[in-house]
Amino acid sequence: MSLQDITARISKAETAAGRPAGSVKLIAVSKVQPNERVQAVLEQGHRCFGENRVQEAVGKWPGFMEQFADIDLHLIGPLQTNKARQAIELVNSIHSVDRPKLAKTLARLAQEVGTCPDLFIQVNTGEEDQKAGILPAEADTFIAECRGLDLPIQGLMCIPPVDEEPSLHFALLAKIAEHNGLTGLSMGMSGDFEQAIALGATHVRVGSAIFGERVRPQE
């Protein structure tokens, strides 16, 4: 697979779903990938990337941002409150807002820094103990709380359980978003982004299908 293959498959899935061309944003997930691979994708003209750790993003992206204009960087992994300031200062979007304490910290820092990334609330649609995200039953309340803090909530994000049909989770996320008047849906990875697009994904997070298998496991 390559960037070109993935963008072609996204276009096809948009058409198949009767959705306008360009309605899905491709976040190329570059976590743990060697810099040469990331550089190659930048040189092909792609500008939208995802990282799941603040530390790694801070080490990698300021250099690329000096070389390439208009990089659109998304934090897609769990965010500790003590790294929130660094995240706000570096990334354009955060997909992992998942608890009141983090929401309050982001609201305070956004005031101090004078800007806030676009935010997605992560929903733990599979209700898995080990996974981050607000539980589906608590989503409406949490979304309201974030709005009360004036946070720029663009939509919802989920990572379906590995052993379940992802479409059920994508459909649930879309339903919660619609119920709350949110239009952004960050869902779909290398193995299931076409299904996610069929169910309304606006942002797909694709790593290994673009860059190849990750060289070392992350955790």
Ligand X SMILES: *Cc1c(COP(=O)(O)O)cnc(C)c1O
Cβ nearer to ligand X, comparing 149 with 168 = 168
The position carrying tokens 């929130």 is 84
Cβ nearer to ligand X, comparing 1 with 135 = 1
State phi, psi for 188 to the nearest 5 degrees: 105, 130
For 9, other C-beta atoms within 10 Å of its C-beta total 18
Measured CA distances, 218 to 31, 179, 183 (Å): 8, 35, 31
Name the minimum Å distance from CB 175 to ligand X.
21
Cβ nearer to ligand X, comparing 109 with 157 = 157
Instruction: Please report whether residue 208 would count as binding ligand X according to CB under 6 A.
Output: yes
Only one of the segments 5-13, 63-71, 134-142, 206-214 lies at the binding site for ligand X (rule: CB under 6 A); that segment is 206-214
Instruction: Please report whether residue 206 would count as binding ligand X according to CB under 6 A.
Output: yes
Instruction: Please report whether residue 38 would count as binding ligand X according to CB under 6 A.
Output: no
Distance (Å, rounded) from C-alpha 180 to C-alpha 210? Answer: 33
First to last CA, the chain: 25
Of positions 3, 29, 139, 156, contacts ligand X by CB under 6 A: 29
Q: Which two tokens stand for residue 51?
A: 């990282």
Name the minimum Å distance from CB 177 to ligand X.
17
Cβ nearer to ligand X, comparing 33 with 115 = 33
Of positions 88, 159, 176, 199, contacts ligand X by CB under 6 A: 159
Of positions 24, 185, 189, 197, contacts ligand X by CB under 6 A: 189
Amino acid at 20: P
Cβ nearer to ligand X, comparing 66 with 130 = 130
Distance (Å, rounded) from C-alpha 73 to C-alpha 61? Answer: 8
Residues 6+ apart with CB under 8 A from 103: 97, 142, 145, 146, 149, 151
Running DSSP on this structure, what letter comes out for residue 99? S
Distance (Å, rounded) from C-alpha 52 to C-alpha 159? Answer: 13
Instruction: Please report whether residue 77 would count as binding ligand X according to CB under 6 A.
Output: yes
Name the minimum Å distance from CB 112 to ligand X.
27
Q: By rule CB under 6 A, what count of residues binds ligand X?
A: 13
Of positions 6, 10, 38, 52, contacts ligand X by CB under 6 A: 52
Q: Would you call 53 exposed, middle or buried from its count of C-beta atoms within 10 A (0-12, 13-18, 19+)?
A: buried
Instruction: Please report whether residue 93 would count as binding ligand X according to CB under 6 A.
Output: no
Q: Which residue is nearest to ligand X (CB)?
A: 207
Residues contributing to the site for ligand X (CB under 6 A)? 29, 31, 52, 76-77, 159, 189-190, 205-209
